[in-house]
Structure 1
Amino acid sequence: MKVFQSIIWAFFAFFLAGSFASCKKDDLPNNGEPRIRYVRITEPTAADSLLIGAAQGQLIAIMGENLNDTREVWFNDQKAILTSTYITATSILVSVPSPIPIDVSNKVKLIFGNGTNLEYQFEVQISEPLVGSMVSEYVATGDVATIRGDYFYEPITVAFAGGVEGEIVSVEPQILRVKIPEGAQPGQVTVTTNFGSTKSNFWFRDNRNIVISSDPFTGWWNASYVVSAPGPDDPQLINGNYIRVKKVIGDWAWTEVAGGPADAMGDISKNIPDEAILKPELYNLKFEVNTKKPYDKSMVRFNFGLAAQDNANYQWAPPIDTKGAWQTVTIPFNELASSYNAKLAVNPNGYWTRVLIQGPGEWDADISFDNFRIVPKEIKE
Structure 2
Amino acid sequence: MKNIILLLKSHQNLWTAMMLLLLMGSMASCSDDEFDTSAPPVIERIRNTNPNTADSSFVSATLGSTIAILGNNLSTTLEVYLNDYPLGVNPAYVTNNTVVIQINDSVPTVATNPDVINKLRLVTRAGEATYDFQTLPPAPQVLQVKNQYVGPGDQLTLYGRYFYFVDTVYFPGDDVFVTTGIQTNAGGNTLTVTVPEGLDFSESSNVIVVSRSGASATNRNTQIYSGWGMVADFDTPGVLNWPWDWGWGISGDMIRNTQPGIAALDGNFAGMNQAFPANNDWNNDKVINLAAWSGEQMFPTTPSNLYNPAAPAGNFDIRFELAINSAMPIQDLSVQIWYPDRNENELSYTIPLSEFARTADGTWYTFSANMTQLTNGNNRLGTYADFLAGDHDGIRQLRLVIQNTNPTQNIRATIGIDNIRIVRAVRQQ
Bucket of the pairwise TM-score, normalised by the shorter protein: 0.5 to 0.7
The equivalent residue for 2:365 is: 327
The equivalent residue for 1:243 is: 270
Equivalence map 1:199-238=2 (5 Å): 200-201=218-219, 202-216=222-236, 218-219=239-240, 220=247, 221-222=249-250, 224=252, 227=255, 229-230=257-258, 233=260, 235-238=262-265
Q: Establish whether residue 160 from structure 1 lines up as the match of residue 171 from structure 2.
A: yes
Asked if 2 retains the 8 angstrom alpha-carbon contact of 1:305 and 1:353, the reply is yes
* Inter-CA distance 270–95: structure 2 relative to 1 (3 Å threshold): closer
* Equivalenced residues, count: 318
Asked if 2 retains the 8 angstrom alpha-carbon contact of 1:299 and 1:315, the reply is no
* Inter-CA distance 98–56: structure 2 relative to 1 (3 Å threshold): farther
In 1, the alpha carbon distance for the partners of 2:282 and 2:130 equals: 76
Equivalence map 1:90-109=2 (5 Å): 98-100=108-110
Asked if 2 retains the 8 angstrom alpha-carbon contact of 1:307 and 1:347, the reply is no
Question: Alpha-carbon deviation of 1:291?
Answer: 1.1
The equivalent residue for 1:127 is: 138
Q: Establish whether residue 283 from structure 1 lines up as the match of residue 331 from structure 2.
A: no
Question: Alpha-carbon deviation of 1:244?
Answer: 1.1
Aligned-residue Cα RMSD (Å) equals 5.3
The equivalent residue for 1:147 is: 158
- Give 1:370's match in structure 2, choosing from 413, 418, 421: 418
In 1, the alpha carbon distance for the partners of 2:153 and 2:97 equals: 55
Question: Alpha-carbon deviation of 1:153?
Answer: 1.9
> Partner letter of residue 354 of structure 1?
L
Question: Alpha-carbon deviation of 1:136?
Answer: 2.0
> Partner letter of residue 261 of structure 1?
A
- Give 2:215's match in structure 1, choosing from 197, 218, 238: 197
Asked if 2 retains the 8 angstrom alpha-carbon contact of 1:126 and 1:195, the reply is yes
In 2, the alpha carbon distance for the partners of 1:343 and 1:81 equals: 51
In 2, the alpha carbon distance for the partners of 1:337 and 1:347 equals: 16
In 1, the alpha carbon distance for the partners of 2:289 and 2:297 equals: 13
Asked if 1 retains the 8 angstrom alpha-carbon contact of 2:234 and 2:268, the reply is yes
Q: Secondary structure at the match of 2:318?
A: strand
User: What is the aligned-residue identity percentage?
Assistant: 19
Q: Secondary structure at the match of 2:171?
A: strand
Asked if 2 retains the 8 angstrom alpha-carbon contact of 1:148 and 1:176, the reply is yes
Asked if 1 retains the 8 angstrom alpha-carbon contact of 2:146 and 2:159, the reply is yes
In 2, the alpha carbon distance for the partners of 1:152 and 1:132 equals: 11
The equivalent residue for 1:23 is: none
TM-score by length of 2: 0.55
> Partner letter of residue 319 of structure 2?
K
In 1, the alpha carbon distance for the partners of 2:64 and 2:351 equals: 43
> Partner letter of residue 291 of structure 2?
G
The equivalent residue for 2:398 is: 354
